[in-house]
Amino acid sequence: MSNMVAEKSIDPNRKIRLIHGDLTEAKVDAIVNAANAQLAHGGGVAGAIVRKGGRIIQEESTAWVKENGPITNEKPAITGAGDLSCGFVIHAVGPVWGEGDEDRKLFSAVYSALDMAQRYQFKSVALPAISTGIFGFPKDRGAQLILNAILEFLEKHEGSSLAEVQIVLIDRPSIEVFATEFAQRWPESIL
């Protein structure tokens, strides 16, 4: 069961939504997976996506890496979504906290995932709080950077196919951090 926590209209045709729910159940054109460079989907969001969507996602991911090499924060991958409600999974790799240049890498991971969604003419995409789970990126800092990347992308691509960007988070602590960030930027966005 999903619950919308906040919604910000960028213009009459485009929205950013904060949703407390399960990313694997998002009814969007594509979801973004918080992946590692080798697309080995074992734990965290990636593991949940493969458990729910099926082994085909891992098989397509393995084939992607074999053909294109490891993904980076500037170079995401895309696969089908198996049994998920969405049509595609965009695999983005965010930084592990402590590896250096984390802010730029997280911003780039989100921005590049949205750019891929636009290239495929998707109207809606849902993403998790990339790097703020098992990769250890501080949640409050991650919330700021993720929203900055979404806003910058939408502002620079006014004619983009993307009409809706959802941030879908399953855990209460992450929702609270992102809701605080929404409220600080746009007090009217909190529902």
pLDDT band at 159 (very low <50, low <70, confident <90, very high): confident
In this structure, are residues 109 and 131 in contact, taking their beta carbons and an 8 Å threshold?
yes
pLDDT band at 46 (very low <50, low <70, confident <90, very high): very high
Output b/e per residue, 27-62; b: 16+ Cβ within 10 A. ebbbbbbbbbeebebeebbbebbbebbeeebbebbe
Write the single-letter amino acid at 9: S
Alpha-carbon span 64 to 69, nearest angstrom: 7
- pTM of the full structure: 0.96
Q: What domains can be seen in the chain, in order of their start residue?
A: 3-189 (3.40.220.10)
- Res 47: pLDDT: 93
Residue 43 has pLDDT above 90, yes or no: no
Residue 1 has pLDDT above 90, yes or no: no
